[in-house]
Each structure stands twice: as structure tokens, then as C-alpha cells.
Structure 1
Amino acid sequence: MNGGKAPLVSVIVPTYNQGHYLRQALDSVMFQDYPEIEIIISNFGSTDGTSDIIRDYLNTVKTEHVDPVSHMAEDGTVVRLPKIAYPQNRSITVLDSTENIGGTAAYNEGFQKATGTYCMYLVGDDYLLPNALSELVPALETGVDVAYADMFVVNDQGHILHHLEKPDYDFAACFAQWFHLGVCRLYRREWHDRLGFYSTDFRNANDYDFMLRLAEAGALFKRVPKVLYCTRIHEKSGEGETANWRDNGYENLLRESKECAQRARNHLSRTEAEDER
């Protein structure tokens, strides 16, 4: 960043029936220790009152105050100076659909509205650690196109279940064996101008397909070896579940992922054959 203004980061928050967890997700972006952030919430047909939760949240951001102790006056009086609780330099855009357009379309609507130099998505029941963007942005500033990091898997209460350590970047390890980049990824938004958006042919493995397309087009990847993201699994079937994961979502994920893995292996075979010529 070289002492100038930090690049704007667009964080897309797609959500479907995740109202119980959404505030934590949004708070985790609002209170990042990185200065330049726009938040784009894409609510795709939630039926659990998510629209009202978003409306209340926006009001809270504008009006909620805290009264911390500021100092003690000469006469011994403890002085409290009210201050606004939330950062006021975050842009928040809400895309609120009454129709369940599906996760892939919701992601795309968000990315189409993004104006940042860099962008990522945060699923509405996951959350970022406070230093996520301040760690990922410098990695991109070295000249790579995608920065990714490790994650914690947490339960409904936020208790850590295990650490998902991602491999250092290697095409075979991250794409041909299976998709091993995880969901904590920040990348250059200009790639959407070059390659378009997430393919609606993929309902569950849409990020596998899109990141593979970037890799096939020559994008550079870099791992940040730190835990920066918490991804949530639910104890009760259906709780916080997106529309993508209903209707045999796991089986569909396996099918789509196998398709991507085979595509990656074919790409690897072609490039190895070309190198031998």
C-alpha cells in the first residue's frame, strides 16, 4: 500500500435462512482492522425473517452508542463520553430478493455490484477473524491474484472443532487431487471482468469451478499460513442450511467436484505434455 490509501475490499455476504448467525458474520466484517471495506449483503429468498434482521442491523450500525469511561475529573467525577459503537466508514449495500434465486446467482448479484480492487465472499453463518483482510491484502499486493488462508471449523455455539490447514499452492494439490483452497479467499475483482462470474451450471462446487478457471487462465495463488476464517457446521439438519445444500446437495457437491478434479487432471496432463515437447 506504500503509505497511500488502502485498496477497497468488497465482501459479499450471501445468506439464506441464516438470520440467527448473520449479525455475527456482519460484525466480523464491520470490525475488521482494515480500513477500506464495502459490504454487499445478498439475501436470496430467506423465510426466517432475515430481511427484518438486516433492517434492524442497519439501524443499529447508525444509532447504537456505548458509554465507556473516558477519564476522572479533578473533583473525582468519572466522566463517560458517548461514542458510536460501529465504524461509520463502511459502505453497506443490501440486495434483498423475495425469490429464492439460488446461491450461485446470489453470489453473482453481489459480485456484479462490487467496486473494490479485491473481493471475497463470506457465507452468512460463517465469520472472519478481525485481522483477515489486513493479512490477505498484503499478500495480494505482492502481485499474486488470489490469497487464501487456513480456517477453523466451528459448531453452532462457535466452539472450535478442528483446524483446516491449507496446503501451500500447487496446482495438483489444490485442484487436481481435490479442491483444497478452502473458503477463505481474497482475489482481484478484475478477474470477473476477464472470465465472468460463477457458472450457474454448478450449484454446489461453484467456487471450485471458478477458481479452477482462474488457475487455467494463469492466475497466481499464494497461501497465508494463518487461521483467518471460521466456517460453521450445524448440529441439526436444516439449521442455517442454504438452498444449495438441500435436495441431495452433498451428493451433488461430490459429482460437481469430481467433474472439476477431472478437468484439472486433464489440464495438468496437457501442460506436462507441452513441457515435454
Structure 2
Amino acid sequence: MADMETISIVVPSYNHAQYIEACLDSIYFQDYGRLEIIIVDDCSPDDSREVIRGWLSNVDAQQVSYASRFNEATDEVERTWHKRYERDGRSITFVSNERNMGSTATYNRGFRMTTGEFCSFVVSDDMCHPQMLSTLAAPLREDKADFVYSDMFIVDDRGRIMREFRLPEYDFSRSFGDWYLCGVSTLYRRSLHERFGFYDESAMADDHECYLRFAMGGARFLHVPKTLYSVRSHDQREVGLHSKDRFSALLDYSKKLTLKARAWNRANGGAEQGGK
């Protein structure tokens, strides 16, 4: 792993105690060799912090076993014991905000702590599929792109797949001028933050605003047409950003960003989008 770039993943935690262990497991058990996992809890009112501390204790010590040999002499099936979490190349940091800062400031606190060449964030109730990071890292390592995104499943609280969200091949007009169509299954060069700044803490649609800024600044985007991530549906759980009022404000903000993308595209010789 000496020549393998480190991937930094920020996990912003807020009020997701029942989901965050599965989220963290899905990152820890990626088939990519060098991961920096940074968990930032934003003063969750539930027991998220206790759950995270328990998960960290398990990473250090929990043992599991499997049936490995039938001993004919004793008529017993012997078991082999091993650590549940035993992958090399994992660095894990957990911090808690001293006061509730909001989701975007929490993202930024995590990203300012990252050291890897590539980075992204994973929402604490979502799940990464096992080959997500290795698949998205490949075009970055081959210098084919600066920002890579993939398709996603939308799942409910029972883990049922409600639909598959297949995103378009990257085109500025399609991906930013029609609507924001890059999703949340992403990986990109950390140097983009050094060039263009972190997430705008005044933006309702913080990822949309940030990635549009990357694109208008010249970052190379690439779509990987594989389903590598599961997004938790909020249809029956209208809380936080997905409460009716806040989600309506988020949509209004994204509409403004879409118009901004269309204006930028026209000024730079691009075609009109959406027949407007």
C-alpha cells in the first residue's frame, strides 16, 4: 500500500443513532486499502455519541468466530476466533462539536482535518457498497478526472430498495444546467477544496453549491455507471433538512443555482438548457 493514495471520508453525525453503526461498518469494510475516517458529531440529542464510542471500542477489541473444523475425537465442531475489525490501513478520528453548528459547518470541520489525497463525505444514515471507494478512486488515480460520482439505490428503513437512481454521463448542461444530477456517491481530489474553498455555510444546498463551484472552476467530472451507494429514504421521516419547510427552502436554493449554471454556460459558449 506504499504507493496507494489515502482516501479521507468525513461522517457528519446528527441524531442517527440507529443507523450510524451500519454506516461506519460500510466504510470500514471497503476493499480499498488506505482510509482515513473522520466522524464529527454535531451535539446529537439522541445517543449517537454513545453508539459511536461503542463502535470504536468494538473496532479495538471485539472478537467473532466461525465453525472451522470437525474434531472427530471429541465429536465437536471447533471454532476459529478472530477480531471482527482486522483490516489494515484504517485511521479513525472521532470529535464532537461543543455546540450545535449545523450540518455544513460540521462537514467543514471534518474536511479541515482530512489529510488524504482523495476525499468525500458519507451521511450517517447512508451506506457505501463494498467496492465503492476502490471503483471511484480508479479514475482519480489514473488522472482521468478530479471528481467522480456513481449511481445509487434509494432504500427504506428496512433496507428494501425502493428505486435505483441512475445518473447521466457528465455534461455541464445536463448535470448542472438541467438540475443537480451528481448525487451523493462521490469521491474527489482534496486539492479542489484548496483551490475553491470548502462548503458554503450560508448555502441551503451546500453540496450542490460546492460542486457547481468546482465545475465552473474547471474541475474534470466523470460518471461511473455502477450502483455503489445506498441513500436512506426520508419519505416517512421528515426531520432535519428533510422537514417540509427546510426541504422546500433547499429546493428553492437549488433552483437559483440551476439558473446560475445556465447563465454561466451561456456566457461561456454553451447551449441553452431545458428549452429555457
The residue correspondences of 1:179-198 to structure 2 (distance < 5 A) are: 179-198=180-199
Q: Secondary structure at the match of 2:19?
A: helix
Whole-angstrom distance in 1 between the partners of 2:20 and 2:78: 35
Determine the structure 2 residue equivalent to 1:222.
222
Q: For the residues of structure 2 that align with 1:256 and 1:87, how far apart are their CA atoms?
A: 44
Structure-2 separation of matches of 1:168 and 1:23: 32
Question: Given the two structures, how large is their TM-score scaled by the length of structure 2?
Answer: 0.92
Kindly indicate whether residue 3 of structure 2 is the aligned counterpart of residue 5 of structure 1: yes
For 2:106, the aligned partner's letter is A
* 1:270 aligned partner: 267
Contact kept? 1:38, 1:116, Cα under 8 Å: yes
Q: CA RMSD in A?
A: 1.7
**Aligned position for 1:154:** 155
Aligned to 1:237: 237
Contact 1:139 1:224 in 2 (8 A): no
Separation (CA, whole Å) in 1 of partners of 2:69 and 2:244: 58
Q: Which amino acid aligns with 1:199?
A: D
Q: Is the 8 A contact 2:234 2:242 kept in 1?
A: no
The question of 1:43 aligning with 2:41 is answered yes
Distance 2:166 2:80 in 1: 43
Distance 1:20 1:79 in 2: 34
Structure 1 unaligned spans of 5+:
none
Q: Mapping of 1:137-216 within 5 angstroms?
A: 137-143=137-143, 144-203=145-204, 205-216=205-216
Q: What's the % identity of the aligned pairs?
A: 37
Q: What is the CA distance between 1:246 and its match in structure 2?
A: 4.1
- Indicate conservation of the 8 Å contact 1:46/1:98, yes or no: no
What is the CA-CA distance between 1:71 and the residue it aligns to? Answer: 3.5
Give the CA deviation at 1:78.
Answer: 4.0
Q: 1-side partners of 2:36 and 2:249: how far apart?
A: 32
Deviations, residues 170-206 of structure 1 (Å, cap 9, x unaligned) = 0000001110001101000011111110001213x11
Deviations 1:4-24 (A, max 9, x none): 532110111112101110011
Which digits, 9 at most, give the CA deviation of each residue in 1:140-179, with x for residues without a partner?
Answer: 1231100100000000111000000000000000001110
Alignment correspondent of 1:82: 81
Aligned residues: 267
The aligned amino acid for 1:248 is D
Task: Name whichever of 142-151 and 74-83 sits farther off.
Answer: 74-83
Q: Relative contact order, CA 8 A, sep 6+: which one is greater?
A: 1
Please, which runs of 5 or more residues in structure 2 have no aligned partner? 271-276
Question: What letter is aligned with 2:268?
Answer: T
Between the aligned partners of 2:2 and 2:179, the Cα distance in structure 1 is 39
Once the two structures are overlaid, the 10-residue window that deviates more, 72-81 or 55-64, is 72-81
Contact 1:62 1:88 in 2 (8 A): no
SS of the residue 1:47 aligns to: coil
Partners of 1:130 and 1:265 in 2: CA distance: 36
SS at the partner of 1:82?
A: strand
